[in-house]
Chain A
């Protein structure tokens, strides 16, 4: 906030020659209490109030000034009093009521305006913010410091209210600490030995299948010579086309894309169909003759 203020002031002083800047004069801050004691503090854009203003529970801080755009009075689009707690940068703002023709603006500040968090702070900085459309530079001017003073019962109540407001934890609306989220690790493939064991057991199952097919059940291999004599081209061609289809699927798994696979299937498919129908026709002839 202070560097921003410095920058704006520097820019506005530089730019003052080229375009206007919003500023104010005849400014004073008055602390008025019902009992009658009145403290008045005068300030200007270059001279903030040095001593801290103490604001009691029944006192009202009245800020009044005349706003000028360069040298003529004006009413800016935004004119407000910024109350900020310096350490946490929590702030509240209160718009000034500004008369259009005379440029006189004023705002009242009392305990009932401030939220519990600011009221319980030890010291609050006051700034005046002026800005509008057009080329005139905006300005943020530090006016001084205000210290709200609370009596103990009020303070206790406010502390309780503060806890209720912010949920029992000193959480205020500022940037939170960075969360370091540790993402779950990517799933990993299991160790190769397990995969190998299961692969070997599946292959053993396949071996068992061949054992059952050929020695135990007698896999009809004796039919082969007769079948080949009857249909010498169809049977091997059919078997070879089926094997090549499976080989195409293996290529699809390892290298090819879908279109190459479909092209391969379109080439081999009719061969399989044609040779298959011939081969099976031959089988049917043998079955009907009872030789199977």
Chain B
């Protein structure tokens, strides 16, 4: 197995500072007290220290959230007939979100110590398998 030092440097240094979720504000700034600059600090840290693969996954998560909100808004606006169609669609969105979130957790390099036995590829294979099963059940449930 090739030694770990061959991993690209952009991933190791900031990854050590970051945790799994979008990180806490960096301590070396002048401690900002208003929420807007805290938010800005969070976003900054996120964009700098999150690896690109994780950001791709985050984009997908954001898409799923938007889709879920749209589904719920449709249900509120246009009624829930047929109800199982709404449930199937919403469950698909939520289930996919859960699976993608767990893929993100398992494949993030910063979490490598907690998921030592699961390689990112193995996590992706599990993700694909579970997504296929989710799609089958949701297609069945739409009726």
What is A's interface to B at a CB cutoff of 8 Å?
187-190, 194-195, 198, 201-202, 205-206, 208-209, 212-213, 217-220, 242, 245-246, 249-250, 252-253, 258, 261, 265, 272, 276-277, 280-281, 283-284, 287-290, 292
Contact = CB atoms under 8 A, between A and B. Distances in A.
Nearest to A252: B139
Contacts, number: 88
A287 B128 contact: no
B6 A289 contact: yes
Contacts of A218: 52
Contact of A187 (B60, B79, B119): B79
Instruction: Classify the secondary structure of B's interface with A.
Output: helix
A194 B60 contact: no
A287 B78 contact: no
B66 A205 contact: yes
B82 to A, nearest CB: 8
A258 B136 CA distance: 10
Given A201-B70, A205-B67, A209-B60, A252 B140 contact: yes
Contact of A281 (B53, B121, B142): B121
B16 interface: no
A283 B122 CA distance: 11
Query: Taking each of A194, A218, A280, which has the highest tally of chain B beta carbons within 10 Å of its own beta carbon?
Result: A280
Interface of B: 1-2, 6-8, 52-53, 55-56, 59-60, 62-63, 66-67, 70, 73-74, 77-79, 81-82, 119-122, 124-125, 128, 132, 135-136, 139-140, 142
Contacts of A281: 121
Nearest to A245: B132
Contacts of B119: 284
A217 B56 contact: yes
B62 to A, nearest CB: 8
Contacts of A190: 77-79, 81
